[in-house]
Amino acid sequence: MSVRLTVVGSVNLDLVASGSALPCPGQTVTGAVLARHPGGKGANQALAARRLGAEVRLVGRVGADPFAEEALALLRADGVDLSDCRAVEDALTGVALICVSADGENQISVAPGSNLSLTPDLLPDLGGEAVLLQLEVPRETVETTVRAARGFVALNLAPAAEIGRETLERADLIIVNEGEAAFYGEMLEGLPGLLAVTLGARGARLFRAGELIAEASPPPVAAVDTTGAGDAFSGALVVALLEGQTPDAALRFACAAGALAASRPGAQPSLPTRAAVEAAPGIRP
């Protein structure tokens, strides 16, 4: 039986310029190719979990504009429950402006728009479902959700921002990359839950109460676009842990999902299916 997961988070439309190199401050780089993809960390992680077999509800907000349906198209097509992802009349759908270089590295600037309208008073009843959150919606909404949750709570601390210690201590799983881990520093020490730290092409490590309990390397891929790779990892790790996979197996599963996402362009279009992840080299010891 599939796991059930509620994702509380952002919905964006990604405008992606893929070129030979990323611009330096004050520099104009031409010759890029423009593409539009659905995105937003909340939406990406919801779709990642759905494609890996979970029953997923997304709680979010879009604007009453032409970008909204485009931003929700892949979620709708894959069967994510969007009954709590509603339009805000006086706001614009969030937009991410993304530059991608030939080696897959990226720079991202986000105009959050309607995502800031997801205030705590608009949150639905979470029941006992597992919850996955990120930090692209108001901090008060994240902290209220964590306090109200009665089931498993996973918190992806991205993008890095101030968050209360009480919220960190309640989370059953925290996910950060190396930069985010450095930002939070000592705040991540002594937490009772699991802590996953992603290391890019070097894989990831999983800690419990400061003790390393698992580490994994991703399968070898040619990186095309790393946008969404972290979201694929987050969705996959949560699904695997909810399914009862061991820490080692769950981390291998998540690393494979992230690597496969990095091997294709776009955030949501790149998110792999369950079959693709299970067929990845190194997924089994």
The full length of the chain comes to 285
By the 10 Å C-beta count (0-12 exposed, 13-18 middle, 19+ buried), 105 is classed as middle
Short-list 285, 282, 227, 284, CA closest to 258: 227
Task: For residue 84, indicate whether it is catalytic.
Answer: no
The Cβ-side half-sphere exposure at 264, using a 13 Å CA radius, reads 15
Do 101 and 20 contact (CB within 8 A), yes or no? yes
Angle between the N-to-C axes of helices 229-242 and 41-51, in degrees from 0 to 180, rounded to the nearest 10 = 50
CA distances from residue 14 to 109, 252, 269 in whole angstroms, order as listed: 10, 28, 11
Distance CA 160, CA 165 (A): 14
By the 10 Å C-beta count (0-12 exposed, 13-18 middle, 19+ buried), 182 is classed as exposed
Helices (H), 212-282: 229-242, 247-262, 274-278
Q: Which two tokens stand for residue 168?
A: 């960190």
Catalytic pick from 14, 65, 81, 231? 231
Alpha-carbon torsion 81, 175, 182, 97, what sign? Answer: negative
Q: Which two tokens stand for residue 3?
A: 């796991």
Do 60 and 42 contact (CB within 8 A), yes or no? yes
Return the active site residues. Answer: 231
